[in-house]
Amino acid sequence: MSTESPHESLDALLATWPTADTVLSIDVQQVNHHYGSGEMRKQVLFDNHLQVRAGEIVIMTGPSGSGKTTLLTLMGTLRSVQEGSLKVLGTELFGLGTAATTELRKRIGFIFQAHNLFESLTAFQNVGMATELLGIPTSEAKPQIEQTLHRLGLGQRLHYRPKALSGGQKQRVAVARGIIHRPGLILADEPTAALDAESGREVVTIFQELARQHQCTIVIVTHDNRILDVADRIVSMVDGRIVSNVLVKRNQLLSQFLVQIELFRVLSTSALTKVADKFDLQSFPAGSEIIRQGDVGDLFYVIGSGQVAIEMDGQQVNRLGPGAFFGEVALIRDQPRNATVRAVEDARCFVLHKADFQTILQQSTSFEEELRKAIFSRQ
Ligand SMILES: Nc1ncnc2c1ncn2[C@@H]1O[C@H](COP(=O)(O)OP(=O)(O)OP(=O)(O)O)[C@@H](O)[C@H]1O
Ligand SMILES: [Mg+2]
């Protein structure tokens, strides 16, 4: 087993991995929503849960009528939360008063399907409205407004009114207006739908810069497959429920790491991605025990960073580093841990719970063979 570092993307992976102290920008808990009243009352959101960290780009997809816009408008304080808890940028929206709602809205950028531009104002003035609302005069924000409109390909259209702009151009004015005040959260409903490939790409590139440079969180409702690659997380809704929530970017980076380890190379790409989704990350300070001989084992470990020592009956028998794995014997044989594993320097391990580990064993005989070879070679 190799003890050298078998990865390049690991730093990026570890840097973006959510941990217990990750700052959440959005925290949706048990959110239900109904439209109408009396006999017309109809439930459209059912028990939704979603946590999004600061700086994350989320793509939300799902069939028409599945509740995407409803959830997005709840996050944006454009509707009141009826049931459940919804925290946005640290503020609980359930029962939030008018003044606090107004303040919070200034920190959110909205880019919605019906772009609601003021017909009597030019593109420049429409964007200026967003800075005026924050108390920054348009004159002061002028360079930034012009630059943003330029980037969105509207440099020649600064002083056109909406009626003289195409659908795609209006959409880009709406994008500029939604981002000009550097909001902490951007909520975008089909922001690229009316755009050609090039303008759509420019919009998502700007989103990525805002996310990376300013830790802006971005939720994009879209059916546009061309922009899926920007997502850190893809959330799918069906019939008012979030039915899948996958950290695509993280899983991709973790798969790239795992595929360099012989054991995982036997899995197909799709199996590997599924496995990656199941891993958690645990940190162990230098000197701490990761597993103890004699204990019942319920986790399988792959070392991401740091070094560990394997000790049997008080004697160090091996040392392992990034890319090595341990903890499989107790899971395969259903026996207590046969060794103690200790972090000799600060270590981070990707861990898989027993049930998920056994699912892979059942699904891939080559994985099991590979694992048995590895165990055999150690003894
Ligand atoms: N203002 C409203 N009053 C009553 N029902 C509504 C209202 N807005 C939406 N609905 C209903 O709520 C459900 C969810 O609608 P929503 O607009 O959230 O779906 P969506 O996923 O955004 O769909 P689309 O992809 O077509 O935009 C639908 O059944 C819709 O008919
Ligand atoms: Mg919608």
Mean pLDDT of the chain: 92
With a cut of 90, say whether residue 16 has pLDDT above it: no
Nearest ligand to the CA of 61 is 1
Higher-confidence residue of 22 and 345: namely 345
Among 227, 247, 267, the domain-final residue is 247
> Rounded distance, CA 242 to CA 135, Å?
38
**Considering the domain boundaries, does residue 73 fall inside one?**
yes
Same-domain check for residues 206 and 347: no
**Considering the domain boundaries, does residue 18 fall inside one?**
no
Residue whose CA is at the smallest distance from ligand 1 atom 17: 69
Same-domain check for residues 201 and 279: no
**Considering the domain boundaries, does residue 304 fall inside one?**
yes
Same-domain check for residues 111 and 259: no
> Rounded distance, CA 211 to CA 362, Å?
40
Residue whose CA is at the smallest distance from ligand 1 atom 5: 35
- For ligand 1, whether the C-beta of 37 sits within 6 Å is no
Higher-confidence residue of 374 and 201: namely 201
- For ligand 1, whether the C-beta of 121 sits within 6 Å is no
Among 247, 268, 288, the domain-final residue is 247
- Going by C-alpha positions, the residue among 136, 141, 75, 139 that lies closest to residue 110 is 75
Among 230, 247, 264, the domain-final residue is 247
Residue 114: pLDDT band (50, 70, 90) is low
Same-domain check for residues 273 and 367: yes
pLDDT digits (tens, 9 = 90+) for 196-232: 998 899 899 999 999 999 999 999 999 999 999 999 9
- Strand order across the 108-111 sheet: 108-111, 185-189, 217-221, 57-61, 233-238, 241-246
Same-domain check for residues 305 and 212: no
Atom of ligand 1 nearest to the CA of 63: 25
The pTM for the full model equals 0.87
| Residue 260 contacts residue 368 (beta carbons within 8 Å) | no
**Considering the domain boundaries, does residue 5 fall inside one?**
no
Angle made by CA atoms 167, 170, 172, in degrees to the nearest 5: 110
> Could you tell me the two tokens for 203?
């919009």
Same-domain check for residues 52 and 190: yes
Domain that holds residue 48: 23-247
CATH of the domain at 73: 3.40.50.300
The average pLDDT across 83-88 equals 98
Same-domain check for residues 107 and 227: yes
Residue 113: pLDDT band (50, 70, 90) is low
Residue whose CA is at the smallest distance from ligand 1 atom 14: 67
**Considering the domain boundaries, does residue 167 fall inside one?**
yes
- For ligand 1, whether the C-beta of 62 sits within 6 Å is yes
**Considering the domain boundaries, does residue 11 fall inside one?**
no
Q: How many domains does the chain have?
A: 2
CATH of the domain at 326: 2.60.120.10
> Rounded distance, CA 270 to CA 251, Å?
11
Same-domain check for residues 225 and 321: no
The average pLDDT across 79-87 equals 98
The pLDDT score that the predictor gives to residue 151 is: 92
Same-domain check for residues 227 and 285: no
The average pLDDT across 271-297 equals 94
Same-domain check for residues 372 and 294: yes
Same-domain check for residues 256 and 243: no
Same-domain check for residues 282 and 186: no
**Considering the domain boundaries, does residue 287 fall inside one?**
yes
Nearest ligand to the CA of 46 is 1
**Considering the domain boundaries, does residue 9 fall inside one?**
no
With a cut of 80, say whether residue 9 has pLDDT above it: no
Out of 108-117, 126-135, 207-216, 335-344, least confident range = 108-117
pLDDT digits (tens, 9 = 90+) for 238-273: 999 999 999 998 998 899 899 988 889 989 888 898
